[in-house]
Amino acid sequence: MRRVVIANPLQVRAIAWAKVKTDKIDAATLARLHAAQFLPEVWMPPEDVELQRRVIAERTQLVGQMTRLKNRIQSILHANLVPKETGHIFSKRGRARLEALPLPADQMRMALRHHDELGRLAAELAIIDRDVAQRALADPNVKRLMTIGGVDAIVAASVLAAVGDIRRFSSPEKLVSYLGLNPSVHQSGDHPAYHGHITHQGRGHARGMLVEAAWSLASSTGPLSAFFHRISVKRCKSVAAIATARKLAVLIWHMLTKQQDYVWTRPALLQYKIRRLELMAGHTSRRGGNKPGPARDYSVKAIRDQERARLASAEQDYRRFVAGWQERPPTKRRPASQEGDC
């Protein structure tokens, strides 16, 4: 049986440095590497994973286009000394507010044209979000990852689309490396190893989603928030966000491999996120009904406070645990001016 194999170009690029290089020689070299089982293969995702990746990629492009249009409108206002407007001018009702601003005629036409294009893209984004939400509701792993406080359906779906089959990764470190969240290492001879910036290899969009979730966790309560702030005190917030994203990748590996939910989840918040996901998928609203839905608990302040108190207790336990650590001797590092971490 014949099988098509795609080699990882990052790991076979030594072929490109050969002094004598032809297609025939390269093909023979790849064939010998494959016969010796030394050819690094690229994992080919199944059709459903590839479809999800395309949908997520299209959504990312739409969000980027919408952000650029908003920035252009804000730049027009700034150039005409109009105070910066908040998000309400970008809605359908905000168009009337935009028309009332004191702008020259040509600038007004440009701003309104950007606003109309923004509305068109928002309608397309709603269609894509509905598709993502419908797929997410049918995937138990999405709901499992949503048990983490800072992870919503979009973040969970993006990470799962990038990862594919979690069984490909025999350890959490390999998943971290696949997402490009592992530090680069340089070591030669007897000199100590230098650990630099993250490699930025692998699935960049999933890495960005995890960093976004890390920033969301920073403003919440719980062990992950305590971890973020502990790193931010030692380094800076941007480094803490990367470190927390790496911690999330390790956590996700354990959750998917062991089929377990996050221990410090907030049940009321989880039901609220699931209900929002259902509405995004096109389910009918239950407002005005006699029977309260499962997301009702999140609207009860006493229940929210009780859940926050539980997470606050876990955060304090983490801080006490870390306080008992012994400081390691300082390692040899590059000067701070060359690191550029923050």
Domain boundaries, the chain: 58-138, 141-185+196-283+293-323
Q: Which residues contact 341 (CB under 8 A, 6 or more apart)?
A: 197, 235, 236, 238, 239
Can you give the pLDDT at residue 10? 65
* CA geometry: angle 24, 27, 31, nearest 5 deg: 140
Can you give the pLDDT at residue 339? 45
In this predicted model, what pLDDT tens digit does every residue of 153-164 receive, in sequence order? 999 999 999 999
Query: Where is pLDDT greater, at 36 or 221?
Result: 221
Tokens 């069984």 -> residue: 167
Mean pLDDT of 245-257: 97
Q: What is the mean pLDDT of the chain?
A: 86
Query: Where is pLDDT greater, at 43 or 299?
Result: 299
| 213 close to 245: Cβ distance less than 8 angstroms | yes
In the predicted structure, residue 338 carries a pLDDT above the cut 50: no
Rounded-to-integer distance, Cα 161 and Cα 24, Å: 36
In the predicted structure, residue 50 carries a pLDDT above the cut 80: yes
In the predicted structure, residue 337 carries a pLDDT above the cut 60: no
Rounded-to-integer distance, Cα 224 and Cα 229, Å: 9
Alpha helix ranges (H) inside the chain: 23-35, 47-79, 94-99, 105-137, 140-145, 153-163, 172-178, 204-218, 223-234, 237-258, 267-280, 301-323, 336-339
Rounded-to-integer distance, Cα 73 and Cα 20, Å: 55
Can you give the pLDDT at residue 218? 93
| 74 close to 115: Cβ distance less than 8 angstroms | no
In the predicted structure, residue 199 carries a pLDDT above the cut 50: yes
Considering only the C-alpha atoms of the chain, give the largest distance between any 2 of them, rounded to a whole number of Å. Answer: 79
Rounded-to-integer distance, Cα 141 and Cα 317, Å: 28
Tokens 């955060």 -> residue: 315
Q: What is the value of pTM for the model shown?
A: 0.82
Distances (CA, A) of 230 to 5, 203, 241, 323, 330: 45, 27, 11, 11, 17
Mean pLDDT of 80-87: 78
In this predicted model, what pLDDT tens digit does every residue of 5-32 receive, in sequence order? 777 666 666 666 666 677 787 778 777 7
Mean pLDDT of 168-175: 94
In this predicted model, what pLDDT tens digit does every residue of 121-149 receive, in sequence order? 999 999 999 999 999 999 999 999 999 99
For 6, what's the count of Cα atoms within 13 Å in the CB-facing half-sphere?
5
In the predicted structure, residue 187 carries a pLDDT above the cut 80: no
Mean pLDDT of 249-260: 96
Rounded-to-integer distance, Cα 326 and Cα 28, Å: 55
44 falls in which pLDDT band (50, 70, 90)? Answer: confident
Can you give the pLDDT at residue 333? 57
Distances (CA, A) of 100 to 51, 72, 84, 97, 243: 44, 18, 14, 5, 46
Phi, psi (5° rounding) for residue 195?
-100, 115
In this predicted model, what pLDDT tens digit does every residue of 281-331 receive, in sequence order? 998 887 766 677 778 889 899 999 999 999 999 999 999 998 888 676 666
